């Protein structure tokens, strides 16, 4: 697979597009507005410039990467893609709408993938007429740096599809690919989100300060980042969406999103991207 489509040019989508183009693939980013498409390209340009400045990438390689990247607002421009990766916001109905539109424009052999962090993949796969060719491909932020990608097969994903995507992620992108079944949260978030939510509950109860909670987990467990700093980095809205998805799937009390998390999202305190979360930026 060398012709790749990416839907959504935000932080995750731009990162996915960058690593694919850097690996030699021809990449098209689809956005809903031209200004968003232009912003997506600028994100990739900025990331590549930073890599060049740190001597992690040559200017020639950066220029070649950009030469393999196009942006568009027209679904028809994805018609010749071999793999399309959706990286839209974590809204189930939005993803289903996207997959229905994709299904109508791409070829019969095209593989459709979702970068969802927690929504069961089958819920978007059944919005298409090719659920056996739909797979989860969960990258982690920042995509150019993080080595892991989760490959999620639904109950109907065929082996050929999962194997082809795993091969692309591992052999072309050079990432570590792990396989998981189609349960909310997959591997990483199924373990991570309850831990993050417990840290919020501990803070909300007055048991310990944000600074002490983070320092304890860094110093006591060797984690590179404390849980509350990590939530600010991920985004409180994304953390909330993942927690809601886990709770909807398993209905276990410890998976319920903390009230404080909901209130902070309602207040627009989303972490680093909004300038304020559990810390100010």
For residue 116, being part of any structural domain is answered with yes
Q: ∠147-280-48 over CA atoms, to 5°?
A: 35
Among 121, 155, 181, residue at a domain's last position: 181
256 and 194 co-located in one domain = yes
Q: Which of 150, 153, 184, 245 is catalytic?
A: 150
Q: Which of 18, 31, 82, 138 is catalytic?
A: 138
**Domain, as residue range, for 202:** 189-273
For residue 243, give both structure tokens.
């927690």
Integer Cα distance of 202 and 208 in angstroms = 7
Q: Which of 47, 189, 244, 245 is catalytic?
A: 189
The yes-or-no answer on residue 209 being catalytic is: no
Integer Cα distance of 107 and 89 in angstroms = 25
176 and 197 co-located in one domain = no
Integer Cα distance of 256 and 194 in angstroms = 9
What residues contact 4, with CB distance under 8 A and at least 6 apart? 17, 20, 25, 26, 27, 28, 81, 82, 83, 84, 85
51 and 174 co-located in one domain = yes
Among 181, 207, 227, residue at a domain's last position: 181
For residue 280, being part of any structural domain is answered with no
The yes-or-no answer on residue 254 being catalytic is: no
The yes-or-no answer on residue 117 being catalytic is: yes
13 and 106 co-located in one domain = yes
Q: Which of 25, 47, 115, 117 is catalytic?
A: 117
Specify the pTM: 0.90
- CATH number of 21's domain: 3.40.50.720
- CATH number of 230's domain: 1.10.1040.10
In contact, 179 and 166? CB cutoff 8 Å: yes
For residue 254, being part of any structural domain is answered with yes
The yes-or-no answer on residue 138 being catalytic is: yes
Q: Per-residue pLDDT tens, the chain, 281 aa: give them.
A: 899 999 999 999 999 999 999 999 999 999 999 999 999 999 999 999 999 999 999 999 999 999 999 999 999 999 999 999 999 988 899 999 999 999 999 999 999 999 998 788 999 999 999 999 999 999 998 899 999 999 999 999 999 999 999 999 999 999 999 999 999 899 999 999 999 999 999 999 999 999 999 999 999 999 999 999 999 999 999 999 899 989 999 999 889 999 999 999 999 999 999 999 999 99
């Amino acid at each position: 697979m060398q012709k790749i489509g990416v839907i959504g040019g935000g932080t995750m989508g731009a990162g996915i597009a960058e690593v694919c183009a850097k690996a030699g693939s021809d990449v098209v980013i689809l956005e809903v507005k031209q200004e968003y498409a232009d912003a997506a390209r600028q994100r990739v340009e900025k990331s590549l410039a930073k890599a060049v400045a740190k001597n992690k990438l040559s200017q020639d390689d950066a220029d070649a990467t950009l030469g393999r990247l196009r942006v568009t607002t027209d679904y028809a421009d994805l018609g010749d893609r071999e793999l399309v990766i959706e990286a839209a916001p974590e809204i189930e109905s939005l993803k289903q709408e996207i997959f229905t539109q994709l299904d109508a424009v791409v070829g019969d052999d095209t593989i459709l993938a979702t970068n969802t962090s927690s929504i069961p993949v089958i819920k978007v796969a059944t919005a298409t007429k090719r659920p056996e060719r739909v797979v989860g491909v969960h990258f982690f932020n920042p995509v150019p740096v993080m080595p892991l990608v989760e490959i999620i097969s639904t109950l109907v994903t065929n082996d050929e599809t999962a194997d082809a995507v795993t091969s692309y992620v591992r052999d072309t992108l050079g990432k570590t690919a792990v396989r998981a079944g189609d349960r909310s949260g997959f591997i990483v978030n199924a373990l991570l989100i309850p831990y993050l939510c417990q840290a919020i509950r501990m803070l909300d109860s007055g048991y310990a300060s944000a600074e002490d909670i983070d320092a304890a987990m860094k110093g006591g467990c060797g984690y590179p980042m404390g849980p509350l700093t990590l939530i600010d980095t991920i985004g409180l809205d994304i953390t909330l969406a993942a927690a809601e998805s886990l709770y909807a799937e398993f209905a276990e009390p410890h998976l319920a999103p903390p009230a404080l998390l909901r209130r902070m999202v309602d207040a627009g305190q989303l972490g680093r991207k909004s300038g304020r979360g559990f810390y100010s930026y």
